[in-house]
Homo-oligomer: A and B are copies of this chain.
Amino acid sequence: MSPAAPVSKFRIGELAELTGTTPRTIRYYEEIGLLEGGERAQGKHRLYGEEDVARVNEIVRLRDLLGLSLEQLSQLVEAETARAEIRRKLASAGSPAARRQLRERALGHIDTQLELVRGRRRELEKLEAELVEKRREVRRKLQP
């Protein structure tokens, strides 16, 4: 068996750089409950792991691409967080039926995100088509 994966720990500045944010943003997300506070080990500094990188990346992506408010985002991501936690607990202790229910909830959650992403994509495609048409017209006038 492989030994426990080396749990790399990041300080807040590293987490910020890895996710294209700033320490202030990370602290703000913790302040409003969007992100769990990095563990304050012995000292006073926050320490983060790989899963925090993934989480912040997801938050930033949905924030930028879907234009959601942080409150809307926390509802969306909250569901997933709860799911991840419960999944960990049930992975060993859960009955097959309970696991099945968890996965079905996960599906619903993914579908919700897919709806949002697809709606946005369609809007962008429409705008793109209009711009292409506009360009065609200008070009037509340029070369009579």
Count copies of this chain in the complex.
2
Does chain B have a CB within 8 A of A11?
no
The one of B110, B117, B124, B141 in contact with A138, judged by C-beta atoms closer than 8 angstroms, is: B110
Interface residues of A in 39-73 (CB under 8 A from B): 61, 64-65, 67
The CA of A107 and the CA of B128, in the complex, are separated in Å by: 14
Report the count of interface residues on A (CB-CB < 8 A). 30
> Are the CB atoms of B65 and A138 closer together than 8 Å?
no
Main secondary structure of the interface of A (DSSP, over half): helix
Does chain B have a CB within 8 A of A88?
no
Knowing A65-B124, A123-B65 are in contact, say whether A135-B118 is a contact too (CB < 8 A): no
The CA of A98 and the CA of B134, in the complex, are separated in Å by: 20
**Which residues of B are found within 8 Å of A86, using beta-carbon distances?**
none
> Are the CB atoms of A114 and B128 closer together than 8 Å?
yes
**Which residues of A does B touch, CB under 8 Å?**
61, 64-65, 67, 100, 103-104, 106-107, 110-111, 113-114, 117-118, 120-121, 123-125, 127-128, 131-132, 134-135, 138-139, 141-142
List 18 contacting pairs A-B, 8 Å CB cutoff, sorted by A: A65-B120, A65-B124, A67-B67, A100-B142, A106-B138, A107-B138, A107-B139, A107-B142, A110-B135, A110-B138, A111-B135, A113-B131, A114-B132, A117-B131, A118-B128, A121-B121, A121-B124, A121-B128
